[in-house]
């Protein structure tokens, strides 16, 4: 089922424990065309951490967002594609483009994406190109490079509803299993289709059954992948040296829900039957509720502070941020070991939340990972701990220059 093995839970732990640096996929060059506040940009970088310093509104997050379009989904802001096109003097550019040259898992490659204006008034569409050739969808980028991120929007991840946490887990799964994104969209589509039929009182049970069949097949595959990746991550964090825990606490993670509980005791095919039957039995309740009351969309990620044995939601703001950073770094390391190349890591405004000691520890961990990390901050001083091991760039009104 997977592009990269997620079943062998123990294999890479020796290297993980020793903290040996591995090499990561990295971006050599980034080109932007009418992307947000950038009219045009060409940026050449090396494999070391890319530190973006600049005033509020200068274009730091926009750069991270541009890179995030090479992961499945709509980028780190979950923006609608036309909103990304450069708006200047009240006029929006007809499209936008982001291109990167990457030293990826299979060597050098050119990746490109964007919203492509089409002649004759046809609707603009998302373009996906690999070495100049059109690719089926952006899931194809995952073969060359995986990307993980942490943004200020995620600060309330443990406090809010389950949707954001499921998306967080889904992004973690993408790096291991490029098919995950496609399964998510077929699940969503089938769930919406079924709900529409129920709402309209369509009595065609064959049609309903077909939607429920799709929901069950995709839903169980989604639940299995989330449960597996989270369990692997939990095991990898548990195996980390607890003496080195400070200042980023170790998290305990479990992906919980009805379907996941069934998967603990039954093979996937039996769980599929169970979910399909349950959906069929619940048609009138779901019609009344206006949504499906069972399925993969009801499950959630539970996180606790391992040492304090405290649910993350009850931890302090600073502890929650530190837990999140620890999870993202542990995931990056696990992914690196599974793929043989660390992911590109995007950390928006992370340094600003940390005291000096924690900033030092973060720099040390990023450098040990051997991953190309892109960090943003309003002040170059926030990045002092990287010393000469990183490239410091100044961002100013949609322009980027070396400091």
Which stretches of the chain bind ligand ATP, using CB under 6 A?
36-37, 54, 56-62, 83-87, 378
| Residue 146, binding choice from Mg ion, ligand ATP, none, Cβ under 5 to 8 Å by partner class | none
For residue 170 the two structure tokens come to 């889904």
| Residue 54, binding choice from Mg ion, ligand ATP, none, Cβ under 5 to 8 Å by partner class | ligand ATP
Shortest distance (Å) from residue 166 CB to Mg ion:
25
Closer of 34 and 146 to ligand ATP (Cβ): 34
Residues 36-65 that bind Mg ion (CB under 5 A): 61
**Residue 73 to residue 201: CA distance in whole angstroms:** 33
State the residue for tokens 């609608």.
80
State the residue for tokens 């690999």.
130
| Residue 358, binding choice from Mg ion, ligand ATP, none, Cβ under 5 to 8 Å by partner class | none
- The helix/strand/coil state of 304 is strand
Shortest distance (Å) from residue 59 CB to Mg ion:
8
**Residue 167 to residue 174: CA distance in whole angstroms:** 10
What does R_g of the chain's alpha carbons equal in angstroms? Answer: 22
Shortest distance (Å) from residue 89 CB to ligand ATP:
10
Q: 390: closest CA among 373, 377, 365, 368?
A: 373
| Residue 2, binding choice from Mg ion, ligand ATP, none, Cβ under 5 to 8 Å by partner class | none
- The helix/strand/coil state of 123 is coil
Burial, 324: exposed, middle or buried (Cβ in 10 Å; 0-12, 13-18, 19+)? buried
Shortest distance (Å) from residue 54 CB to ligand ATP:
5
Closer of 83 and 131 to ligand ATP (Cβ): 83
| Residue 254, binding choice from ligand ATP, Mg ion, none, Cβ under 5 to 8 Å by partner class | none
What is the number of residues in the chain?
A: 403
For residue 12 the two structure tokens come to 């890479």
**Residue 153 to residue 317: CA distance in whole angstroms:** 13
Closer of 92 and 195 to ligand ATP (Cβ): 92
Shortest distance (Å) from residue 38 CB to Mg ion:
14
Backbone angles phi, psi at 318, to 5 degrees: -65, -40
Question: With CB under 5 A, what is the number of residues at the site for Mg ion?
Answer: 1
Closer of 49 and 370 to ligand ATP (Cβ): 49
Closer of 275 and 345 to ligand ATP (Cβ): 345
Closer of 61 and 299 to ligand ATP (Cβ): 61
**Residue 393 to residue 52: CA distance in whole angstroms:** 5
Closer of 186 and 378 to ligand ATP (Cβ): 378
Q: What residues make contact with Mg ion under the rule CB under 5 A?
A: 61
């Amino acid at each position: 089922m997977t592009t990269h093995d997620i079943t062998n839970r123990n294999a890479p732990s020796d290297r993980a424990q020793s903290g040996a640096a591995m090499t990561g996929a990295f971006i050599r060059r980034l080109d932007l065309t009418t992307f947000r506040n950038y009219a045009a940009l060409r940026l050449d970088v090396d494999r070391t951490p890319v530190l973006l310093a600049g005033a509020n509104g200068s274009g730091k997050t926009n750069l991270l967002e541009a890179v995030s379009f090479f992961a499945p989904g709509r980028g780190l802001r979950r923006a609608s594609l036309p909103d990304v096109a450069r708006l200047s003097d009240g006029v929006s550019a007809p499209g936008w483009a982001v291109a990167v040259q990457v030293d990826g898992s299979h060597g050098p490659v050119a990746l490109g994406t964007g919203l492509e204006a089409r002649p004759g008034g046809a609707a603009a569409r998302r373009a996906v190109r690999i070495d100049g050739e059109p690719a089926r969808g952006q899931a194809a980028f995952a073969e060359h490079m995986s990307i993980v991120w942490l943004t200020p929007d995620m600060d309330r991840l443990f406090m809010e509803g389950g949707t954001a946490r499921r998306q967080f887990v889904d992004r973690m799964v993408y790096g291991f299993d490029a098919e995950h994104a496609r399964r998510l969209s077929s699940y969503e589509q089938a769930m919406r289709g079924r709900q529409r039929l129920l709402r309209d009182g369509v009595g065609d049970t064959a049609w309903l059954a077909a939607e429920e069949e799709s929901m069950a097949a995709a839903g169980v595959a989604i639940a299995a992948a989330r449960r597996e990746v989270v369990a692997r991550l939990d095991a990898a964090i548990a195996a980390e040296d607890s003496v080195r825990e400070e200042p980023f606490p170790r998290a305990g993670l479990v992906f919980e829900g009805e379907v996941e509980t069934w998967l603990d005791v039954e093979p996937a095919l039996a769980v599929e039957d169970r979910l399909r039957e349950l959906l069929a039995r619940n048609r009138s309740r779901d019609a009344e509720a206006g949504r499906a009351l069972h399925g993969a969309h009801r499950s959630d990620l539970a996180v606790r502070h391992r040492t304090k044995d405290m649910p993350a939601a009850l931890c302090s703001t600073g502890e929650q941020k530190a837990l999140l950073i620890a999870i993202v770094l542990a995931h990056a390391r696990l992914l690196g070991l599974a793929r043989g190349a660390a992911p590109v890591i995007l950390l928006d405004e992370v340094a600003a939340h940390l005291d000096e000691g924690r900033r030092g520890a973060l720099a040390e961990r990023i450098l040990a990972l051997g991953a190309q990390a892109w960090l943003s901050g309003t002040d170059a001083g926030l990045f002092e701990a990287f010393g000469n091991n990183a490239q410091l760039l100044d961002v100013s009104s949609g322009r980027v220059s070396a400091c």
